[in-house]
């Protein structure tokens, strides 16, 4: 648990997170939990543990693509301006 920065005491409930999901997603999670004899909370935690690294990878790939696209666009603009001279 996190510590309170002013008193150093642990903050109750700081580890909790409320997430609203679609009915369909909730039903999928509940079905998985039932199928594998786990709680819905266990399934949500597992999905988050697996999904966070995947989301980080996707976000990094997106950043690289945008950076390279902008670089390529700038190069093409420079080539176009050189051809006009």
pLDDT in tens, 50-69: 999 999 999 999 999 999 99
Domain that holds residue 55: 23-84
- Residue 9 in any domain: the answer is no
- Residue 53 in any domain: the answer is yes
- Residue 66 in any domain: the answer is yes
Own/partner contacts of 38-45, CB < 8 Å, gap of 24 or more, are 44/19
pLDDT at 25: 96
- Residue 12 in any domain: the answer is no
- Residue 17 in any domain: the answer is no
Residue 12: left if φ>0, alpha if ψ -120 to 50, beta else—which one? beta
- Domains in the chain, number: 1
Q: What is the mean pLDDT of residues 7-18?
A: 76
- Residue 10 in any domain: the answer is no
Q: How far is residue 16's CA from residue 19's CA, in Å, rounded to a whole number? A: 10
Residue 1: pLDDT band (50, 70, 90) is very low
> pTM here?
0.61
Q: How far is residue 4's CA from residue 14's CA, in Å, rounded to a whole number? A: 10
- Residue 32 in any domain: the answer is yes
């Amino acid at each position: 648990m996190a510590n309170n920065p002013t008193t150093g005491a642990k903050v109750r409930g700081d580890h909790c997170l409320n997430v609203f999901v679609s009915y369909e997603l909730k039903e999928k999670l509940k079905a998985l939990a039932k199928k594998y004899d786990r709680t819905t909370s266990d399934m949500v935690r597992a999905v988050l543990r697996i999904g966070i690294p995947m989301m980080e990878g996707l976000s990094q790939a997106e950043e690289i693509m945008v950076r390279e696209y902008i670089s390529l666009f700038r190069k093409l603009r420079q080539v176009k301006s050189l051809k006009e001279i």
